[in-house]
Structure 1
């Protein structure tokens, strides 16, 4: 996804490699002190580094891997692990089992923790900047939590990549304050596991979900991939703002406020 704005403001951009992906923070202002932005960016990146230390499945010393090896009880781990575990249990119920952090027999919140972590860090460290800046947002590997000040006319225009045509945009979402998350097999292959079968989920190249919360947008984008293109029963109960699904055969469906609005045949251009 690509985020652009709609006003002539000074843009400050900072990028760090965290959680195995580039994470960028964008602040738009008409002249706020650089030190205020830099302090907020450093705090946000610092929190995400700490979350990676606790939850990474690639670090042998992470709390998650120590729990998996039986070296650490969940109740003895970092308190945020219990918070995420409770959220994952609730998500499994809410999605009717389409999402599960325990399908493999161990606790692995990979499909949930990124959106949760980025949203929390952004709300804690970036959102308070709105008293001084017009807009601020964070992009974590294409998943975004975005904010705009009430007094500002700024709008984030989020381009949704066409998974069948690299470098092309299939649709654009205007967002003032909110979140957009994309999941699917287009970039990383069939890496999302269907907990009902233990096999990779196939059929949806790309699922993009917009909501107020990145944790929820990320959760439901993953759920959409697992459900498959033809199962849209989850859309009304998700309560998300809007979204778009792109099937492997080129079909496209969109929804608004929980109601599917159309299914576009393969080859049809979206406005």
Structure 2
């Protein structure tokens, strides 16, 4: 792997810790244009929070929910996300829905979408700069990453063992793309099945690797909701992924094909 100097920027936005990681020559990572692009990415996320946060009374989503504005009157990005959520609901067979409660709440989709958008607008273009090796953004453990053309850099993303706190279950190697994990290990059964309104059970964690963080985040959530049913994988725009069930089974897939099922004995015993 190429020897490169790292630089990290960290902010708390959208209710989570967001970090940008740049690798390259000293001139690249310390360049004012690199720092300015990172600042723009953070600003983009703050704007997304201003528009989509359900915790802010003045957000576009909150005003839409209260009937103060219509979808046509809201910020154009609201309509864009609403269309993406409807498409996701159709492709997932209803395992994801932003409207199942009777109003539009894109919380389960918008973070991955916003982080990917900020990365594509402001961070990934930096890979064309002289001295750049790699750049990525991490939001609460979900990542959109890129590597400069001609570089041998590989992002090695550790996947936490949901049965054993503080331990790593697997490593995902990614050159360019996204990795997202959803699960119940840390926050309990907080993911609801929109088809029933009941907490999703059976799968402790799900990790998806895709070109797009919006897609990876979506399908990781779908995997939790789907439980033992992996039929959705054929419709997912994913490269690979894995689920870890409550009983310790680890299922992996590549493309649309399940490639392995193993029992993680230590996990199953806990």
TM bucket, shorter chain: over 0.9
Runs of 4+ displaced beyond 4 Å: none
C-alpha deviation, 1:239, in angstroms: 3.4
Mapped to 2, the partners of 1:164 and 1:199 lie a distance apart of 23
What residue is the counterpart of 2:107 in the other structure?
110
What residue is the counterpart of 1:26 in the other structure?
21
Mapped to 1, the partners of 2:266 and 2:163 lie a distance apart of 13
Query: Which aligned pairs between 1:137-176 and structure 2 lie closer than 5 A?
Result: 137-176=136-175
What residue is the counterpart of 2:246 in the other structure?
248
Between the two structures, name the one with larger relative contact order (CA 8 Å, sep ≥ 6). 1
What residue is the counterpart of 2:57 in the other structure?
60
Contact 2:154/2:174 (CA < 8 Å) preserved in 1?
Answer: yes
Mapped to 2, the partners of 1:64 and 1:204 lie a distance apart of 30
Mapped to 2, the partners of 1:36 and 1:10 lie a distance apart of 17
SS of the residue 1:166 aligns to: coil
What residue is the counterpart of 2:214 in the other structure?
215
What residue is the counterpart of 2:67 in the other structure?
70
Alignment size in residue pairs: 263
- Where does the alignment leave 5 or more consecutive residues of structure 1 unmatched? 1-5
SS of the residue 1:70 aligns to: coil
C-alpha deviation, 1:8, in angstroms: 2.2
C-alpha deviation, 1:266, in angstroms: 3.7
Mapped to 1, the partners of 2:173 and 2:82 lie a distance apart of 33
What residue is the counterpart of 1:267 in the other structure?
265
What residue is the counterpart of 1:123 in the other structure?
120
Mapped to 2, the partners of 1:166 and 1:85 lie a distance apart of 36
C-alpha distance after superposition, 1:167-217 (max 9, x if no partner): 111010110000000001111211111011111111111100000100100
C-alpha distance after superposition, 1:109-157 (max 9, x if no partner): 0111011110011000001110221100000000000000112111100
C-alpha deviation, 1:7, in angstroms: 3.4
- Where does the alignment leave 5 or more consecutive residues of structure 2 unmatched? none
SS of the residue 2:178 aligns to: strand
C-alpha deviation, 1:268, in angstroms: 6.5
Mapped to 2, the partners of 1:19 and 1:264 lie a distance apart of 36
Indicate yes or no: 2:92 matched with 1:95: yes
What residue is the counterpart of 1:202 in the other structure?
201
> TM-score, normalised on structure 1?
0.95
